Amino acid sequence: MNWIKKNKFGLALLAPSIIILFIVSIFPMIYTVYISFFDFFLPRPNQKYFIGFENYIEILQDEMFWVAMKNTAIFMVSTIGLQFIFGLGLAILFYNEFRGNSVKALYLPLILLPMMVAPVVVGYIFRLLYLTEWGPLNYLLDFIGLGPYSWTASSSTALFSLVLADVWQWTPFVTLVLLTGILSISTELFEAADLDGASLWQKVRYIILPLITRVIAVVVLIRMLDSLRELDKVYILTQGGPGTSTTLVTFWSYLNGFKYFKVGYAAAMSIILLIITIAIASRMAKVLDKEED
Amino acid sequence: MKKLFVIFLFSFFCFGNAVNAKPEQRPTFDNVTVTAALHSGPFVNAWTPHIKRIKELYGINLELVGVPVNELYDKSILELSMGTGAFDIVQYNPGWVGDYIDFILPLDEYMERWDIGWDDIHEGFRVWENTYGGVRTSITMDGDVMIFYYNKNMFEDPEEMANFKSTYGYDLAPPKNYDEVLDIQKHFRRDTDGDGNIDQAGYSDPIIKRGRGQYPYLIRLFAYQKEAGITPNYMDPETMEPLINSKEGILALENYVETVANGVPGMLQWEWSEAHTCFMTGKCASLIHWPDEGLMTSAFTANTGSPMGFADVPSNANMTMGGWVAGITKTSKNPEAAYMVLDYILGPDVSTNVVLYPGGGTDLFRQSHFDSAVVKMIAPQEYLDYYQSAVGNIVGELRIPGGFEYYDSLDIQVQKALAGESTAKEALDKAAKNWKKITKRLGADRQKEMYAAAMGL
């Protein structure tokens, strides 16, 4: 009580933010937890039955949920891996080649363009690119004798097609963050390495990577969370098919919530996803703490 | 070109007449607003020219809310179930009526007071789209049904005919069943430019891609059921046991999988437009599709040099594969005004213009449309005859609560079979298991009752 009295002014300043946060974030989350214990079919809003943990049990026994989780894991690992490799390569390129060169530095904003495009638009762009018969990508591949491929029309390549679209869009973001990390490293270290005749690989291995671990962890964490909630490209490009090859967990949750209107079931799935997200984030935080020690 | 110009002039003339048509004994309103949630694009475009006239005739301000087609179901259900009263008129797929039925007004009373030209609506649409459990609940907006189209030059080429007969032992002709469809697919499948890639198919289904890929399976299921002397059904009406994994169901899916596998690369991702383009450019020898192509015979001949052929779908088991109807919501503050809007736009006088509206994307659904001089100028009589015969052979959509979920859970399994992730039997057994779960969750007794209402039992 005393504490409130003492911090009255500060609390008054914080109050609007707390109220808004409660309305748009905390209350919906509490309501989601609440509704996840009900059998609630939206077209019959007056018939809502409490079923305890049944939704959770059903989800864990749902074959499609596990297929979606597996696809999400593959999508997450592939996109983050490729984005990191390409992002690091580009960051080093920008650091080495374009630093201090204003004309060359113009390329940086240009390569950032994909991440400024709305994910839905990216979906539409790649849908056209991937067309088997009339798509420009297949035209080029065919021209050089490497194609055509049934990009999104084959279950063996559809998930890779999604990965490719995501890598195209988000590699610039990874590049930007990693470049910031590299720029924060003292130039003296690179100069010393040059004097010792270190190769580029040695500089990456012994200077860059160890000194930007925290930056890497942050960018990986952000991209992991983004991958977990990927929906737009799946919706536009494949609708989860062919077969179930591109059904990611958010798309499965979306179908249950907004197409089948199994509101309680979809809410329970969101809670499970939230738990997974928290687990990943806290694991990453632990890794970071360890690094700091 | 000359023909097109004449059609344009004639349509324009009729359009003018339609807009000026004056309904009889209809009430007027004092600046009442009616809001209609419509499929954005084609339907909004086709309705927009009538807003002014509706205001003049009835004093109704008609507001059209365009909703992307993929969001029409979820957006409407959200608004309706929350009782927001945002819409007076909703456009929906007849297959969704099981979920809409609690939120839409029965129209019998209105229709008795102001006849909307009910008897003029083709009987197949009246039964399978507009009536539910004996109650009139909607008006058809788009007369969807399936027609078998074929490239006459390809089918009547003497060399093709001889080769086909020597391989398959019977004459090349529009198929009587889906086994013959598969033969046609295999026969015409080839690499026409010699680059090593298959670029010509014998046949395409209307939609294959995840989302609506269950339809080509269902139309086959009904065909196989008919051939076996069974009344086409999704479930046993007595026990609600799914029939999708029956012997006929498995044959249907095996045929679907093989037909797609023998198509051109990329077919798994085909939707309306890809199938349409393939046929219209002569890359598919035949096609089962909605009625749109029959109004494009000139374009087809210009592209391919061939006349367009028409036939009934195999075994005469037809489906609307969607279709669109309009209903009035129970939360409408002005249901009479909403009815007047439907009465005007979808009534016999104006609807001919609406269905012929360029880019409107809607198909004929009234007898007066089929008899219209403008329609007869654009479309060959043979096509119109097959079209009407097709409407008489419709097997209704699965119009029960959860209809979307039943379809989608079937589509997931059908897609798995198409992609080679499971066999037809495995896929359909899983789909049937899911259907049973949905039925149990939504209440088996109520579902049984609704199924009987939906199938007119």
Which of chain B's residues have a Cβ under 8 Å away from the Cβ of A239? 209-211
Closest by Cβ to A261, choosing from B77, B264, B421: B77
Q: Which CATH number fits domain A36-292: 3.40.50.1980, 1.10.3720.10, 1.10.630.10, 3.30.870.10?
A: 1.10.3720.10
Which of chain A's residues have a Cβ under 8 Å away from the Cβ of B404? 259-260
Band of residue B398 on the pLDDT scale cut at 50, 70, 90: very high
Is residue B440 over pLDDT 60?
A: yes
Distance CA B405, CA B396 (A): 17
pLDDT score at B128: 93
Residue B441 near chain A (CB below 8 Å): yes
Query: Could you give the maximum distance between any two Cα atoms of chain A, in Å?
Result: 78
State how far Cα B9 lies from the chain centre.
29
Residue of B nearest to A47 (CA): B442
Domain ranges in chain A are 1-28, 36-292
Interface mutation vs chain A, best among B73, B78, B93, B269, most A CBs within 10 Å: B269
Domains of chain B in start order, with CATH, are: 2-144+322-391 (3.40.190.10), 147-316 (3.40.190.10)
Pairwise pLDDT comparison (A101 vs B321), residue with the higher score: B321
Residue B173 Cα distances to B154, B156, B315, angstroms: 10, 8, 14
Element (H, E) at A144: none
Pairwise pLDDT comparison (B398 vs A133), residue with the higher score: B398
Band of residue B76 on the pLDDT scale cut at 50, 70, 90: very high
- A105-124 pLDDT tens trace: 777 888 889 999 999 999 99
Residue of B nearest to A257 (CA): B74
Name the minimum distance, in Å, from the CA of B327 to any CA of chain A: 16
Mean pLDDT of the residues in chain B: 92
Distance CA B291, CA B426 (A): 34
Is A241–B195 a contact, with Cβ atoms under 8 angstroms apart? no
Task: Look at strands B32-39 and B89-92 and give their pairing.
Answer: parallel
Is residue B325 over pLDDT 80?
A: yes
Band of residue A4 on the pLDDT scale cut at 50, 70, 90: confident
Task: Look at strands B135-136 and B147-151 and give their pairing.
Answer: unpaired
Residue A282 Cα distances to A69, A286, B186, angstroms: 20, 6, 57
Is B405–A259 a contact, with Cβ atoms under 8 angstroms apart? yes
Angle at A101 between CA A97 and CA A104, to 5 degrees: 70
User: In chain B, pLDDT over 90 holds for what percent of residues?
Assistant: 84
Cβ partners under 8 Å of residue B82, min gap 6:
A45
Is B265–A148 a contact, with Cβ atoms under 8 angstroms apart? yes
Asked if residue A163 lies in contact with residue A246, where contact means CB atoms within 8 angstroms, the answer is no
Mean pLDDT, range B123-133, rounded to an integer = 94
Is residue B4 over pLDDT 80?
A: no
Residue B157 near chain A (CB below 8 Å): no
Mean pLDDT, range B121-150, rounded to an integer = 95
pLDDT score at B17: 45
Is residue A268 over pLDDT 90?
A: yes
Asked if residue B355 lies in contact with residue B363, where contact means CB atoms within 8 angstroms, the answer is yes
Interface mutation vs chain B, best among A41, A61, A237, most B CBs within 10 Å: A41
Burial classification of residue A275, based on how many CB atoms lie within 10 Å of its CB (0-12 exposed, 13-18 middle, 19 or more buried): exposed
Residue B74 near chain A (CB below 8 Å): yes
Name the minimum distance, in Å, from the CA of A214 to any CA of chain B: 41
Is residue A154 over pLDDT 90?
A: no
Question: Worst-scoring range by mean pLDDT, A96-100, A269-273, B45-49?
Answer: A96-100
Residue of A nearest to B99 (CA): A43
Residue of A nearest to B422 (CA): A243
Is residue A271 over pLDDT 90?
A: yes
User: In chain A, pLDDT over 90 holds for what percent of residues?
Assistant: 68
Name the minimum distance, in Å, from the CA of B71 to any CA of chain A: 9
Mean pLDDT, range B404-420, rounded to an integer = 93
Residue B14 Cα distances to B18, B43, B142, B296, angstroms: 6, 19, 19, 20
Is residue A199 over pLDDT 50?
A: yes
Mean pLDDT, range B330-337, rounded to an integer = 96
Q: B339, B350, B288: which is closest to B144 by C-alpha?
A: B288
Mean pLDDT, range B279-291, rounded to an integer = 97
Cβ partners under 8 Å of residue B85, min gap 6:
B329, B331, B332, B333
DSSP single-letter state for residue B397: P
Asked if residue B38 lies in contact with residue B64, where contact means CB atoms within 8 angstroms, the answer is yes
Mean pLDDT, range B269-283, rounded to an integer = 94
Residue B261 near chain A (CB below 8 Å): no
Pairwise pLDDT comparison (B266 vs B125), residue with the higher score: B125
Bridge partners of B33? B61
Name the minimum distance, in Å, from the CA of B94 to any CA of chain A: 16
Please report the ipTM that was assigned to this predicted complex: 0.81
Residue A291 three-state SS? helix
Mean pLDDT, range B251-268, rounded to an integer = 95
pLDDT score at B20: 47
Element (H, E) at B264: none
Task: Look at strands B135-136 and B131-132 and give their pairing.
Answer: antiparallel
Is residue B329 over pLDDT 90?
A: yes
Q: B103, B111, B77, B126: which is closest to B396 by C-alpha?
A: B126
pLDDT score at B266: 87
Is residue B19 over pLDDT 50?
A: no
Asked if residue B177 lies in contact with residue B314, where contact means CB atoms within 8 angstroms, the answer is yes
Mean pLDDT, range B152-162, rounded to an integer = 97
Burial classification of residue B3, based on how many CB atoms lie within 10 Å of its CB (0-12 exposed, 13-18 middle, 19 or more buried): exposed
Residue A274 near chain B (CB below 8 Å): no
Q: Where are the alpha helices (DSSP H) in B35-132?
A: 42-47, 51-58, 72-81, 97-100, 108-113, 123-125
Band of residue A103 on the pLDDT scale cut at 50, 70, 90: low
Place of tokens 């609560």: B401
Bridge partners of B61? B33
Band of residue A293 on the pLDDT scale cut at 50, 70, 90: low
Q: B264, B252, B279, B271: which is closest to B186 by C-alpha?
A: B264
Is A241–B415 a contact, with Cβ atoms under 8 angstroms apart? yes
- B225-250 pLDDT tens trace: 999 999 999 999 999 999 999 999 99
Asked if residue B317 lies in contact with residue B225, where contact means CB atoms within 8 angstroms, the answer is yes
The model carries a pTM of 0.87
Distance CA B283, CA A225 (A): 44
Residue B195 near chain A (CB below 8 Å): yes
DSSP single-letter state for residue A241: -
Residue A268 Cα distances to A35, A293, B103, B160, angstroms: 8, 38, 27, 58
- B99-119 pLDDT tens trace: 999 999 999 999 999 999 999
Is B99–A261 a contact, with Cβ atoms under 8 angstroms apart? yes
Q: How many CA atoms lie within 13 A of A191 on its CB side?
A: 3
Name the minimum distance, in Å, from the CA of A254 to any CA of chain B: 11
Band of residue A43 on the pLDDT scale cut at 50, 70, 90: confident
pLDDT score at B28: 93
Q: B162, B35, B22: which is closest to B86 by C-alpha?
A: B35
Which of chain A's residues have a Cβ under 8 Å away from the Cβ of B72? none
pLDDT score at A291: 66
Closest by Cβ to B408, choosing from A45, A238, A260: A260
Is residue B16 over pLDDT 50?
A: no
pLDDT score at A290: 74
Polymer length in residues for chain B: 457
DSSP single-letter state for residue B408: H
Asked if residue A238 lies in contact with residue B270, where contact means CB atoms within 8 angstroms, the answer is no
Distance CA B210, CA B198 (A): 23
Which of chain A's residues have a Cβ under 8 Å away from the Cβ of B81? 42-45
Mean pLDDT, range B125-143, rounded to an integer = 94
Residue A50 phi/psi, 5-degree rounding, is -75, 125
Residue B211 near chain A (CB below 8 Å): yes
